[in-house]
Structure 1
Amino acid sequence: MSIYQHFRKEEHAFVDQAAGWKQQVLDQYSPKLTGFLDPRQQQIALSLTGAGGDVKVAFHGGHPDCERKRALFYPDYYVPEKDDYELVLYEIDYPSKFVKIEHPQVLGALMNLGLKREKFGDIVQEHDRLQFVCAKDIAAFAEMNLLKIGRASVRLAEKPLSHIQIPSVTWTKTMLTVSSMRLDVVAAELFKLSRSKSKAMIEAEQAKVNWKVTTDASLQLMSGDMISLRGKGRAKVFEEDGRTKKDKIKLVAGFPSV
């Protein structure tokens, strides 16, 4: 039985990487810390370790409800500590009375420093306060080099991890009926678009499934998938809930509200 049968083709490279981390722990009998993983990658890591095996995995990204977390693969004898995850919390000091900075600008500024996305976790915005979590090994570099975001001069102030802002996210659920679980079909229903418009946006690289850009309009969605369309927001597929008399799929989906 192939390990890949439970995963989409585009996930196979990460499956191989996570399996390699697990094998490294088995070979060296010591913990292995990864970069920040998105929730789907965390699910894959959990499924590869399973329950009761010689290798376990745990996650930490600043607080329990954050999306992006570092994974720690470790042998069953080991007891993980918070310091093992090597997280640093920064608050962005900027003249908030005069300029406005948004989440995408922070992400862009960090990426423009040449940092890989796996080196930093959630970017949290609560009114004018902006924070982000990063890996300890790039913290000093970020602090020295992130001096402007957009047109605003900024300074990074390190804070204890216990000071992280925890946004209150709730999900507004809705019931949809769709003819299939194709991405373009479900996205059209979720975001109130025509099928042709939905397909065009996907093919124009304006769609993400589980935080990854996809151009495959025919991609078959599954329960737990997160979908986003540029400029339209994001939604989560919670579960299929049977069929209608006309054999359409009843789908429970939801939209986040902070």
Structure 2
Amino acid sequence: MEWYQHFRQEERPFIDQVLEWKEMVSRQYAPKLTDFLDPREQQIVQSLIGSGGDVRVSFFGGASFAERKRGLLYPPYFAPEENDYEIALFAVRYPAKFVSLGHRDVLGALMSLGLRRGKFGDVLVQGSDIQFFAAAEVADYVRLHIEAIGKAPVALEPLPLSAVLPVEERWQEGTVTVSSLRLDALLAQAFRLAREKARALVENGLVKVNWKVVDKPDFLCGPGDVLSARGFGRCKLMAVEGPTKKERWLVRIGWQK
């Protein structure tokens, strides 16, 4: 298929899914709402749908700054509104004076329900305040089944989307040189690790590229790729500036602030 040549091999099943959605909307002339998609998946959907055709696409994750968003594929006659994305917002109420909860704790509790990751959007943490987005179709189930996170008793309070915490993602950029665009080489420079340490993190399944686990140290990264290593944080390959005179690569990397 001609579309495959523009994407990585591991992305082919998702490409097939998107093309099925597109065909369904075109055939039925009715909107199709997706689960929450990570930014890379959103990019793929946008590329495959394009603009100006008989199928359009737009994204919304509950807030303008949301990272994970639901996609809405629709025919030209349709004018999307926020409620068409069917997103619920919850505040996590817990005894903050006695226990500390973070992003990992909340996401772990949500995933323990047995639902797909795609049913949940961003988890927002600002001090002791915690909120998360969920697909409206699972909201009641989630609210009824999350009574504790770790050892902390919690209650989930539904909120209007207008009450979302003002948590925005910011990147601090810098330029480094790397021996190659291999995943282990980039990780080593980005997080100031020994190459062997970076390679071990990858091989042990502790590294994600574009929100998917990658366990091959020689995986070649490209501009726009988001890398995360458990315990070290997240970085983004903003741009590849080109080769240096010493046969290295000059790259611009962003670190989350």
3-state secondary structure, aligned to 1:162: helix
In 2: Cα distance, 1:193 partner to 1:26 partner: 49
Alignment-derived partner of residue 149 in structure 2: 149
Partner letter of residue 76 of structure 1?
A: P
Task: For residue 216 of structure 1, report the CA deviation from its aligned partner.
Answer: 1.3
**2:237 corresponds to 1:237:** yes
Alignment-derived partner of residue 82 in structure 1: 82
Partner letter of residue 250 of structure 1?
A: L
3-state secondary structure, aligned to 1:245: coil
3-state secondary structure, aligned to 1:131: strand
Alignment-derived partner of residue 7 in structure 1: 7
Partner letter of residue 54 of structure 2?
A: D
Q: 1:82-129: CA deviations, max 9, x gaps?
A: 111001100011111111111101111111111211111000001011
Kept after mapping to 1: 8 A contact 2:65/2:168: no
In 1: Cα distance, 2:131 partner to 2:177 partner: 39
Alignment-derived partner of residue 187 in structure 2: 187
Alignment-derived partner of residue 39 in structure 1: 39
Partner letter of residue 218 of structure 1?
A: D
In 2: Cα distance, 1:139 partner to 1:168 partner: 24
In 2: Cα distance, 1:120 partner to 1:140 partner: 13
Kept after mapping to 1: 8 A contact 2:209/2:225: yes
Partner letter of residue 162 of structure 2?
A: S
Alignment-derived partner of residue 94 in structure 1: 94
Task: For residue 166 of structure 1, report the CA deviation from its aligned partner.
Answer: 2.2
In 2: Cα distance, 1:31 partner to 1:43 partner: 19
Alignment-derived partner of residue 163 in structure 1: 163
Kept after mapping to 1: 8 A contact 2:42/2:71: yes
Alignment-derived partner of residue 57 in structure 2: 57
Alignment-derived partner of residue 220 in structure 1: 220
Task: For residue 197 of structure 1, report the CA deviation from its aligned partner.
Answer: 1.4
In 1: Cα distance, 2:41 partner to 2:166 partner: 22
Alignment-derived partner of residue 174 in structure 1: 174
Deviates more, 1:241-250 or 1:119-128: 241-250
Task: For residue 51 of structure 1, report the CA deviation from its aligned partner.
Answer: 2.0
* RMSD (Å), alpha carbons: 1.0
3-state secondary structure, aligned to 1:71: strand
Gap regions ≥5 residues in structure 1: none
In 1: Cα distance, 2:13 partner to 2:109 partner: 28
In 2: Cα distance, 1:199 partner to 1:207 partner: 10
Deviates more, 1:239-248 or 1:149-158: 239-248
In 2: Cα distance, 1:64 partner to 1:216 partner: 34
In 1: Cα distance, 2:141 partner to 2:235 partner: 35
Alignment-derived partner of residue 122 in structure 1: 122
Task: For residue 169 of structure 1, report the CA deviation from its aligned partner.
Answer: 2.8
Partner letter of residue 28 of structure 1?
A: Q
In 2: Cα distance, 1:156 partner to 1:107 partner: 14
Task: For residue 189 of structure 1, report the CA deviation from its aligned partner.
Answer: 0.9
* TM superposition score normalised by structure 1: 0.97
Task: For residue 151 of structure 1, report the CA deviation from its aligned partner.
Answer: 0.5
Task: For residue 168 of structure 1, report the CA deviation from its aligned partner.
Answer: 3.2
Q: Percent identity among equivalent residues?
A: 46
Task: For residue 247 of structure 1, report the CA deviation from its aligned partner.
Answer: 2.5
In 2: Cα distance, 1:221 partner to 1:125 partner: 29
In 2: Cα distance, 1:168 partner to 1:78 partner: 30
In 1: Cα distance, 2:13 partner to 2:215 partner: 18
- For these two proteins, the number of residue pairs brought into alignment is 257
